[in-house]
Structure 1
């Protein structure tokens, strides 16, 4: 190996280790910037879908933790335009199914009606509906589990788990 390549690799590794703590820090709903991915009508609809997937119990729900903004940010920054269109078409389908089935908007439905609509999308033969539900459900779980509240209050997140304690008494 050449010395320049070795030094370049070493510098990259050290830089990565210096930046890692700031990159891997927990997010919360105040750190997420609003995106222009969804319209003003679609944003509360996504929040209702997220709230249906992980509702509020004795712990905050996904909507309360701002997971809907996390999903918008992830899809805008990390997914291709096809996934962005799937999100928009899926939200339109949710609204249409709600109006056809129950005669009212998805946000106005009760919890059982919302679950019925989302379960129907998950079991649908339509690739767009099923893709939407799978994508939003996965991102909801990811966003909820990596939120600051869950990481600090529920899972007791440790940046470097499995400490090594060298001074442990050994019994014979």
Structure 2
């Protein structure tokens, strides 16, 4: 590995670590947004429709809340507005336009207007043809890290927003704000063997 690659990887790791609290605060802000009066901060109306349709198809409401109910689409808009630079924002707009253009070519309509069957076919096509995240061992990438593209990056962000939301964190996933039980005073005979960790 040369020095330039090492510096790039260090900068990416630092950016991810520094950006996590910002993304979490954006998610918290989404929880207080009234869906009926929501106006996108960054996305244009047709782009917001695309993101909402993407979120709703990826995470529809079942016996658990859907992606729209936890406002994952609002989070995505805020993420683009507040954490992407101008170049990144232009790239997002271009990627949404390209995604919709591909849908028009293959199915005759933009993604938000497709039938459920056509949306499923579109997702299947992008799933098969989009670069994948590199395999990881002990938290580190195995092999070269290539860009994963718009589809997989958006999908990953939507899933992160969904599973990081308060509603899903508290009411769907197992939730223990203080991991492990604390018993301050117990007989030594109940402790058993010495713990290895």
Are 1:164 and 2:162 counterparts?
A: no
Partner of 1:9: none
Q: Superposition pairs for residues 127-166 of structure 1, below 5 Å?
A: 131-166=149-184
Runs (4+) off by over 6 Å: none
CA distance in 2, matches of 1:85, 1:163: 49
Q: CA deviation at 1:112?
A: 2.9
Give the 3-state SS of the residue equivalent to 1:41 in structure 2: helix
Question: Which position in structure 2 is the counterpart of 1:103?
Answer: 108
Q: Is the CA contact 1:70–1:143 (under 8 Å) kept in the aligned structure 2?
A: yes
Find 2:73's aligned residue among 56, 68, 71. Answer: 68
Q: Which residue in the other structure is 1:114 paired with? A: 119
CA–CA distance in 2 between the matches of 1:50 and 1:154? 18
C-alpha distance in 2, partners of 1:136/1:39?
17
Q: Does 2:56 match 1:79?
A: no
CA distance in 2 between counterparts of 1:168 and 1:28 reads 43
How much does 1:143 deviate?
0.5
Q: Cα gap change, 1:53/1:125 in structure 2, threshold over 3 Å: closer, same or farther?
A: closer
Q: Does residue 1:89 correspond to 2:94, yes or no?
A: yes
TM-score, normalised relative to structure 2: 0.63
- In structure 2, do the counterparts of structure 1 residues 72 and 79 end up closer, same or farther at CA, with 3 Å as the change threshold? same
- Taking only aligned residues, the RMSD between alpha carbons, in angstroms, comes to 3.0
* Alignment TM-score, normalising by the size of structure 1: 0.71
Aligned residues: 149
The C-alpha deviation readout for 1:88-140, integer Å capped at 9, x for no partner, is 122212221222111123222222311322333344479xx952112211111
